[in-house]
């Protein structure tokens, strides 16, 4: 089955050193997850299925004075002022993760969804298996389609068991699982983080096919006392064979299949480099995709899969070629996604709250916007923090709201009317980096965040858009 590492994502503004006006902000990906990533993507079966040391902290008591060594880069390279920045109108916060279909339950606290595409494949299985039943048990008549529908549901219950095996192993290794989704060609377990060691990676991948093999064995044992030509006998035989196929297919040594994860773990163990394992397993996966595209129709035409060559003509040939093309596309795309995810994870430590933060100046609630902007521009700052009389931060002035106020009205507008109240989730540590930073932003979607030192002192303001641009830039860099 397919496991997917959910890709980290962030919403927001300009590249680390630029203003929003310098370039259009790219649309955030899903996952509230930016992309291949922290929704990702680790995939293991479709057809069934060093943080860098943070730089020394800036003096938290003097946020207005730019510091050539420690201040965020945005204040060195950008000489435009906050008052003239052309931020897009209200850049949207990261969108919530799509539900993924019909919620069926929450085993082990992990939501299980059935995607709309499942109903399509269930209908297809019902039709195909019903045709086979007509040859084996013609006396069933139209009732054969009810039996076929039961088989489709039972088969996907087996797929769910396969995915639950991945999920239980991930939870055992303290790896968060966002959801399980049953879809067109099997299932996917969305595991949000990478395994820490190659041994855990191997186990995490192997448990899925192992459970499918165990299920096949259980169905075989259950067949023994049952008469072969009966409905229970045919159903048990079909479930045994389908679970064997699921296990065998997922053990193929190429990403995104479970066997590809196992190969990645082996190469990782030998070389000590997870990236080397990913590259090897991904290219083997692409080779598998080509083999499936070409080899599956040829095997069917030759009769090697059980039917005579004379029978494999016409519509059957077209269906075999279509199935091979879909499987090959899934494997090829999954392998490519795994390569992109690995490159992203390699560069994620470069995303550091301290280096992406904008210098900010504190202003009181009744300060006119024009005066607040004058102070910010004099200090070389690009953000405003609304504080009370004791200097405690209360809210953040939204950049998009500033742009929406005409210049002639700014002396009459108080900053408090343009600010977003601070919540606990909008306070992030200046020490956050990589996936930890993205996880913190995903947990509380917002356009700006207050960055604080470990002592609680204000360091500055982090724009979600700056993080997004740095994220996209990291993805674009070659490994």
User: Mean per-residue pLDDT for 109-118?
Assistant: 92
Tell me: pLDDT of 223 over 90.
yes
Q: How far is CA 55 from CA 110, 356, 435, 473, in A?
A: 38, 12, 18, 21
- pLDDT for 7 equals 42
For residues 189-213, b (16+ Cβ closer than 10 Å) or e, as one string?
Answer: bbbbbbbeebebbbbbbbbbbbbbb
Residue 322 has pLDDT above 50, yes or no: yes
pLDDT tier, 347 (very low <50, low <70, confident <90, very high otherwise)? confident
pLDDT score of 340: 82
Average pLDDT of the segment spanning 386-414:
92
Residue 220 pLDDT: 95
The pLDDT score that the predictor gives to residue 412 is 94
pLDDT at 8: 39
Tens-place pLDDT, residues 153-163 = 999 999 999 99
Q: Are 301 and 309 in contact (CB under 8 A)?
A: yes
Name the average pLDDT for the chain.
78
What pLDDT was estimated at residue 303? 62
Q: Which of 201-210, 225-234, 348-357 has the highest mean pLDDT?
A: 201-210
Cα separation, 479 vs 342, in Å, equals 9
> Highest-confidence range of 21-35, 312-326, 403-417, by mean pLDDT?
403-417
Q: What mean pLDDT do residues 40-51 have?
A: 39
For the cut 50, the answer to whether the pLDDT of residue 45 exceeds it is no
Taking residues 272-289, what's their average pLDDT?
92
Tell me what the mean pLDDT of segment 442-455 comes to. Answer: 91
Least confident among 86-90, 316-320, 413-417: 86-90
Model confidence over 173-186: pLDDT tens digits? 999 999 999 987 78
Please say if the pLDDT value at position 36 is more than 50: no
Q: Please, which pLDDT band fits residue 250 given cuts at 50, 70 and 90?
A: very high
Rounded mean pLDDT, 218-236: 92
Residue 32 has pLDDT above 80, yes or no: no
- Please determine, for residue 246, whether its predicted confidence score (pLDDT) is greater than 90: yes
Highest mean pLDDT of the ranges 2-16, 124-138, 254-268: 254-268
For residue 105, name the pLDDT band (cuts at 50, 70, 90).
very high
Q: What is the pLDDT of residue 265?
A: 96
The span from the CA of 373 to the CA of 402, in Å, is 9
Query: Would you please indicate which residues are annotated as catalytic (active-site) residues?
Result: 163
User: CA torsion sign, 460 to 466 to 468 to 469?
Assistant: negative
- pLDDT for 112 equals 95
CA pair distance 187, 181, nearest whole angstrom: 6
What would the two tokens of residue 182 be? 């049953």
Mean pLDDT of 356-380: 94
| Residue 139 pLDDT grade (very low, low, confident, very high; cuts 50, 70, 90) | confident
């Amino acid at each position: 089955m397919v496991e997917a590492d959910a890709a980290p994502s962030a919403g927001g503004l300009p590249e680390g050193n630029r203003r929003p006006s310098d370039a259009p902000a790219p649309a955030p990906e899903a996952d509230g997850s930016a992309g291949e990533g922290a929704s990702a993507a680790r995939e293991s079966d479709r057809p069934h299925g060093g943080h860098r040391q943070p730089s020394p902290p800036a003096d938290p008591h003097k946020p207005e004075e730019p510091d050539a060594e420690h201040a965020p880069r945005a204040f060195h390279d950008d000489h435009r002022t906050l008052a003239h920045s052309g931020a897009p109108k209200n850049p949207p916060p990261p969108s919530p993760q799509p539900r993924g279909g019909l919620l069926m339950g929450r085993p082990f606290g992990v939501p299980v969804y059935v995607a709309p595409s499942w109903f399509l494949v269930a209908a297809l299985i019902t039709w195909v298996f019903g045709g086979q039943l007509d040859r084996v048990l013609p006396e069933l008549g139209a009732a054969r389609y009810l039996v076929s529908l039961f088989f489709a549901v039972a088969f996907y219950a087996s797929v769910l068991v396969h995915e639950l095996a991945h999920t239980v192993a991930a939870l055992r290794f303290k790896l968060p699982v966002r959801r399980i989704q049953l879809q067109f060609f099997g299932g996917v377990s969305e595991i949000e983080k990478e395994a820490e060691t190659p041994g855990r990676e191997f186990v995490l991948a192997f448990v899925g096919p192992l459970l499918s093999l165990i299920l096949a064995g259980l169905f075989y044992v259950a067949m023994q006392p049952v008469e072969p030509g009966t409905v229970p006998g045919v159903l048990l035989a079909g479930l045994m064979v389908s679970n064997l196929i699921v296990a065998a297919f997922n053990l193929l040594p190429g990403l995104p299949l479970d066997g590809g994860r196992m190969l990645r773990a082996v190469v990782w163990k030998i070389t000590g480099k997870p990236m080397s394992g990913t590259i090897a397993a991904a290219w083997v996966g692409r080779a598998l995709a080509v083999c499936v595209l070409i080899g599956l129709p040829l095997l069917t035409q030759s009769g090697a899969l059980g039917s005579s060559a004379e029978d494999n003509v016409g519509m059957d040939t077209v269906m075999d070629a279509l199935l091979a093309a879909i499987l090959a596309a899934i494997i090829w795309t999954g392998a490519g996604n795994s390569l992109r995810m690995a490159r992203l994870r390699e560069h994620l430590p470069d995303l550091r709250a301290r280096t992406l933060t904008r210098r900010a100046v504190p202003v009181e609630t009744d300060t006119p916007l024009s005066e607040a902007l004058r102070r910010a521009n004099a200090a070389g700052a690009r953000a405003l923090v609304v504080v009370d009389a004791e200097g405690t931060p209360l809210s953040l002035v939204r950049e998009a709201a500033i742009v929406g106020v005409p210049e002639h009205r700014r002396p009459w507008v108080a900053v408090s009317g343009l600010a977003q109240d601070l919540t606990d989730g909008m306070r992030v540590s200046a020490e956050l980096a990589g996936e930890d930073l993205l996880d913190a932003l995903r947990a509380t979607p917002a356009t700006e965040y207050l960055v604080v030192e470990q002592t609680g002192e204000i360091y500055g303001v982090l724009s979600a858009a700056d993080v997004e641009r740095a994220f996209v830039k990291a993805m674009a860099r070659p490994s």
